[in-house]
Chain A
Amino acid sequence: MSIASAVHTPGSRPGRPRAFDVEKIRQDFPILHRTIRGKPLVYLDNAATSQKPQVVLETLHHYYTAENANIHRGVHFLSQQSTQAYEEARSKVARFVHAADEREIIFVRGTTEGINLVAHSYGRKHVQAGDEVIISTMEHHSNIVPWQLLCEEQGAILRVVPINDAGEFLLEEYAELLNPRTKFVAVTHVSNALGTINPVRQIIAMAHHWGVPVLIDGAQAVPHLQVDVQALDCDFYAFSGHKLYGPTGIGVLYGKTALLEAMPPYQGGGDMIRSVTFEKTTYNALPYKFEAGTPHIAGGIGLGAALDYVQAIGLDTIRTYEHTLLGYATAAFAVLPGVRIIGTAQEKASVISFVRDGVHPHDIGTILDLEGIAIRTGHHCAQPVMARFGVPATARVSLAFYNTREEIDALVQALHTVQEVFG
């Protein structure tokens, strides 16, 4: 099985860094062997979506070829088998984020749906006219717009924590914003546009001091960091499967049992009910209360396989490797003429957002594309971040553990080509 290459060699002991062979890892990702316009693919757009290891692809294929049936419904063998596989995936997710109980793991389409679920269900019930919701300047649009919609509907006020020139969350200003009218805090764990890792444990503790629950947008964090929702003491944590080497269309919302129990359903339909009459419907227990309709069964099972894969490598090993690669790339960028990195926080995940004098990021993106190098250009669904730094857009390189120094070298070489074309 291809996952074998990710497992550390016999003889290595727990607590010591595992042997990490990037070339072996790359063998697990079929797409990394294709060419783009005749050149080897250099995939540096991992914050948009990650590539999928063979084991995830095989799991999806196996599900549809051998196990496909609807879950929680049938007495027949296949239905039991697919139900079991889906619920095992839920247990894997619970262990992955260190949830106290797997009933706290709700499968959703992605981070965006997870946040919308909380804004709708928790928000409408608890946020009233004159109340305040706090977010930060560095949020992705998916952690801005649902709260704007909520505030608009309820007559509440959206408060925004500023960031400094390095792209760091300003805790003192945040402390100033917290007050008795604050009813909710929603902050990203890792910024998609800047790479900043936020001090979420402290952010959560400060909100809890005022009795305010906190949602953490973990979309960019889970591929890079160990997440322990109990240690963080967050009330909600949302993330997507596709940035974590799993399929698209599947994501997770973690919520504390007591909060989820007290929340009204988000969507009505099958599977989320206990009994239905035209007079009265009673809802199902957690987590099914929030999972109306047939879910993305294959996606959930595929995500479970992705988590197994990532954990076999080890998130500490991944972080160490990615951090080294980020340092290598940052050093290479520092000597590129006219290039300015946007987002220079002390604590950073493997993201480099940059601009270059006199060249629009889209032109950089196209020239790199001609070299087979995939990066993201634009506002990264974080227009307030662009406004904060006074740029219309940036070019963004985002690294995964399958990227190499040679790929960074190819990137730097292509950026020299940009220089040649635009002078």
Chain B
Amino acid sequence: MFDLRELYQELILEHCKRPRHFCLLAGANCKVEGYNPLCGDQLTLYLDLDHEWVRDISFQGSGCAISTASASMLTESVQGKTRAEAEALFERFHHLVTGKSPATAEDPALGDLVVFAGVAEFPMRVKCATLAWHALRAALRGEGDMVSTE
């Protein structure tokens, strides 16, 4: 049987209580909003992007533990990465939480993000886990101000 601690891992709860980079970003040159109409989760990603790098990133908003922790850990994961690396991480993370191969809980590229592996057991929560990531991808692709997981 699935244990709830496999979903609500300590690291997730910890990021939920003390989200990182949870602020406005002074030097941001890009802002993307993410909204999940099903839950009412909403967040704003602020990015300082150049043609190659995600130089800095932060977020604000309100949501469930999964979406808040996911956004918090996203900011840690992609800060200082190249755009291509961030895009690739989106794919791996998406595969992880939707239970698709090739991403697995052992994928070294995911680092701490593997704590979200349990989400794959809860299809209704995939949107929570990926909300910030969809916003990130929209920012990387220069898409409009608003991004939704719908």
B-contacting residues of A (Cβ < 8 Å)? 37-38, 359-363, 366-367, 369-370, 377-379, 386, 392-393, 417, 421-422
Contacts and interface: CB of A to CB of B under 8 A. Distances in A.
B150 to A, nearest CB: 13
A133 B13 CA distance: 47
B2 A363 contact: no
A363 B1 contact: no
Contacts of A360: 39, 41, 63-65
Nearest to A369: B122
17 contacts: A37-B2, A360-B64, A360-B65, A361-B64, A362-B39, A362-B41, A362-B66, A366-B122, A366-B124, A378-B38, A386-B40, A392-B39, A392-B42, A392-B62, A417-B4, A421-B4, A422-B65
B2 A370 contact: yes
A385 B128 CA distance: 22
A367 to B, nearest CB: 6
Contacts of A367: 4, 8
A379 B42 CA distance: 13
A309 to B, nearest CB: 31
Interface in B1-20: 1-5, 7-8, 13
B95 interface: no
B101 to A, nearest CB: 24
- For the complex of A and B, the 9 pairs showing the least CB-CB separation, nearest first, are A360-B64, A392-B40, A362-B64, A393-B40, A363-B65, A370-B4, A38-B1, A363-B64, A362-B39
Nearest to B37: A379
A37 B64 contact: no
Given A362-B128, A392-B62, A378 B2 contact: no
Interface of B: 1-5, 7-8, 13, 38-42, 62-66, 122, 124-125, 128
Nearest to A392: B40
B65 A393 contact: no
A422 B13 contact: yes
Nearest to A417: B4
Contacts of B124: 366
Contacts, number: 52
Contacts of B125: 362, 366
Contacts of B63: 360
Main secondary structure of the interface of B (DSSP, over half): mixed
Contacts of B1: 37-38
A139 B53 CA distance: 48
Contacts of A370: 2-4, 7
A119 B5 CA distance: 49
A38 to B, nearest CB: 5
Best-buried of B13, B41, B64, B122 by chain A (most CB within 10 Å): B64
Nearest to B3: A370
B4 A378 contact: no
A378 B39 contact: yes
B8 A421 contact: yes
Nearest to A421: B8
B15 to A, nearest CB: 13
B7 A366 contact: yes
Contacts of B4: 366-367, 370, 417, 421
A361 B66 CA distance: 12
B13 A378 contact: no
Contacts of A363: 8, 64-66
Central interface residue in B8, B40, B125, by most chain A CB within 10 Å: B40
A294 to B, nearest CB: 33
A362 B62 CA distance: 12
Contacts of A359: 65
A377 to B, nearest CB: 8
B4, B38, B122: most-surrounded residue (chain A CB, <10 A): B4
> Which has the most chain A C-beta neighbours within 10 Å: B7, B65, B124?
B65
A378 B2 CA distance: 24
A240 to B, nearest CB: 21
A38 B2 CA distance: 10
Nearest to A393: B40
A378 B41 CA distance: 10
A16 B104 CA distance: 63
A386 B1 CA distance: 35
